[in-house]
């Protein structure tokens, strides 16, 4: 996973090289980009959308859009920030589609969203606490949910998140603070209701 062992700049240099190769038609380079980044894109979208099937669909759409737009990649930006910008847009599209389906009365998966399971690699001793946190995250507005998830789950810097969202790093910091405050408030309310 990018950023886990090597410095982020080294990971970005590898990504920029793979993008250059993919632009030249080397499909294996694009496949390597997908292998490197699809787990974190799916993880982010699963938390954003609250449903693994929708997350996998949106991730697939993210990589299709990425492939189509390789020529637009600006090497002065980090690849991960550009990728998450695309993933965020695809996630928003999925949320809009879900809203439209609910309006039309044909969304038969509403109950699945309330019971979204944590990622398989997550080890948590208190499952009830995790479910409360996941539920609280789902109640956050997207503008607070995205910076929180990209920071806490994917480890992106405030500058990278700012690039994804079109904000300043300070605005990202404020949104993460607000998201955490809302989560504490929601968990306190839910905790009282459970006791």
Kindly write down the DSSP assignment for every residue of the chain, as one continuous string. -TTSSS-HHHHHHHHHHHHHHHHTT-HHHHHHHHHHHHHHHHHHHHHHHS-HHHHHHHHHHHHHHHHHTGGG--TTS-HHHHHHHHHHHHHHHHHHHHHHHHHHT--TTHHHHHTPPPPTT---S-HHHHHHHHHHHHHS-HHHHHHHHHHHTT---HHHHHHHHT--HHHHHHHHHHHHHHHHHHHHHHHHHH-
Q: How many residues belong to the chain? A: 195
The pTM of the full predicted model, rounded to 2 decimals, is 0.64
pLDDT digits (tens, 9 = 90+) for 86-112: 999 999 888 877 766 665 554 444 444
C-alpha distances (whole Å) from 144 to each of 67, 113, 156, 188 are 28, 19, 15, 18
What pLDDT is attached to residue 84? 93
Write down the residue that tokens 């968990």 correspond to. Answer: 187
Q: Which residue has the higher pLDDT, 191 or 188?
A: 188
pLDDT digits (tens, 9 = 90+) for 40-92: 999 999 999 988 999 999 999 999 999 999 999 998 889 999 999 999 999 98
Domain ranges of the chain: 8-194
Instruction: Name 65's Cβ contacts closer than 8 Å, sequence gap at least 6.
Output: 86, 89, 90
Window from 15-19, 20-24, 46-50, 150-154 with minimum mean pLDDT: 150-154
Query: 8-194 architecture in CATH?
Result: Orthogonal Bundle (1.10)
User: What percentage of the chain has pLDDT greater than the value 70?
Assistant: 73
- Banded model confidence at residue 154, pLDDT cuts 50, 70, 90: confident
C-alpha distances (whole Å) from 21 to each of 17, 31, 52, 72 are 6, 11, 31, 14
Q: What is the mean pLDDT of the chain?
A: 79
């Amino acid at each position: 996973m990018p950023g886990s062992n090597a410095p982020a700049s080294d990971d970005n240099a590898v990504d920029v090289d793979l993008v250059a190769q993919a632009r030249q038609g080397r499909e294996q380079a694009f496949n390597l980009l997908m292998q490197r980044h699809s787990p974190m894109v799916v993880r982010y979208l699963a938390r954003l959308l609250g449903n693994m099937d929708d997350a996998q669909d949106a991730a697939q759409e993210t990589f299709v859009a990425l492939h189509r737009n390789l020529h637009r990649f600006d090497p002065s930006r980090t690849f991960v920030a550009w990728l998450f910008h695309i993933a965020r847009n695809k996630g928003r599209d999925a949320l809009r589609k879900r809203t439209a389906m609910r309006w039309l009365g044909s969304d038969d998966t509403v109950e699945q969203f309330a019971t979204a399971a944590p990622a398989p690699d997550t080890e948590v001793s208190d499952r009830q606490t995790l479910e409360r946190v996941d539920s609280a995250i789902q109640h956050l507005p997207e503008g607070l949910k995205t910076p929180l998830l990209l920071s806490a789950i994917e480890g992106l810097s405030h500058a990278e998140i700012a690039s994804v969202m079109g904000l300043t790093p300070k605005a990202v910091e404020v949104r993460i603070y607000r998201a955490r405050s809302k989560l504490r408030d929601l968990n306190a309310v839910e905790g009282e209701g459970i006791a």
